[in-house]
Amino acid sequence: MLSESLESQVSGNNWSHPPAPMVYQEFQQVVVDAERWEQSDVLRDLEREMAVFDAEHEAALNELRRLYVLPAGSSVTGFLRKHRTIPQLLVLAAQQLKWYFGADTVLTLRAPIDESGSRSLYAVAMWPGSVRDAKTALDKFDDAWWIANSRQALGDLYFTYELV
């Protein structure tokens, strides 16, 4: 934020990338035929690809943590892991919510389980003002942005407000 660079706000340890395998491991493997190597390459590519997807998802989650207050536990992160398009949508939505509710408004994510046993995600604007003003802000947000983008969420994401 102001006084320090963002890097100084973390310890500097990156725990997400395991260290590279030791060199000697390459020489301890049994020699395999070409076909198996091919298969192994495919799997290795797949693993690499999945690792890239995971890294991208983790980056999107970190971006969300800067924009929304996430509850303790894994309800929201677990939901977002299963709905990979929603983090990006939430990043865009945050800009719009801040525009209509105000830059100081605190945005929160919740993923409760409903009566049917399924989980939905709620993006909640914590509103210190009147109900009428909150409704007006939410209506404007819906009309200007959410209606046009809601299809991407496939009915799993809701925007609302909570009076505080």
Partner 1 sequence: MPEIVTTPMSYFEVLVEYERPNLKLWLDRAAVVQALFEAFAKWNVKVDDVDILTTGKNSEQGIKFRLTEKQVSFFFSPAACRFTRDNTSWETAPETIEILKTAIETLAAKGEIKPATFKTIVALHVQLKSAPFIQVLRKIIPASMAALDSAPAQTTASVLKWDKRKVTIDGSGQIANGIFIRYEREFPASASYEGMAYQLKADEDGIFAMLDVKEET
Site for partner 1, rule CB under 8 A = 1-4, 6, 9-13, 15, 18-22, 62, 65-70, 72, 103-108, 126, 162, 164
Question: Please, which residue, 3 or 116, has the CB nearer to partner 1?
Answer: 3
Q: Which lies closer to partner 1 via its Cβ, residue 31 or residue 103?
A: 103
Residue 145 CA to residue 65 CA, distance in Å, equals: 22
Q: By the 8 A CB rule, do 120 and 157 touch?
A: yes
Residue 98 C-beta: closest distance to partner 1, Å: 11
The residue type of 113 is: I
- The secondary structure of 143-160 as a DSSP string is IIIIHHHGGGGTT-EEEE
| Nearest to partner 1 of 11, 29 (CB atom) | 11
Shortest separation between residue 47's beta carbon and partner 1, angstroms? 17
**Shortest Cβ 25–partner 1 spacing (Å):** 10
**How far apart are the C-alpha atoms of 147 and 152, rounded to whole Å?**
10
Tokens of residue 93, six digits: 């939505």
Q: What is the DSSP letter of 114?
A: -
Of 126, 161, 122, 163, nearest to 140 by C-alpha is 161
Q: Which is nearer to partner 1, 125 or 157 (CB)?
A: 125
Q: How far is the CB of 160 from partner 1 (least distance, A)?
A: 14
